[in-house]
Amino acid sequence: MRISYDTLGTCASRINIEIENGVIQAAEFVDGCAGNTQAVGALAKGMAVGEAIRRLKGIACQGDTSCPDQLARALEKALEK
């Protein structure tokens, strides 16, 4: 499954995610701090969706969200599908 999630409250404007059998195959951030977003995507690759949500949800950077938190929110939306 491939999803594209428009972020809110972060420098990144969108996250493109590929999930297969409950495991993140890729997470690519559009815009944002390149080094940080590439690192988050690389660390999430191969991780179970539920584990990524557990680890990333609630991390704050600007206000009450961050790129990792937005990835967790995007993954939650993916689980609803």
Closest-CA residue to 10 (of 33, 27, 26): 33
pLDDT in tens, 19-29: 999 999 999 99
Category of 36 on φ-ψ map: left (φ > 0), alpha (ψ -120 to 50) or beta: alpha
Q: Is the pTM of this model over 0.85?
A: yes
Task: Copy the structure tokens of residue 58.
Answer: 């609630």
Alpha-carbon gap, residue 38 to 44, rounded angstroms: 10
Question: Domain tally for the chain?
Answer: 1
pLDDT in tens, 39-69: 999 999 999 999 999 999 999 997 999 999 9
Write out the residue range of the structural domain in which residue 48 sits.
2-80
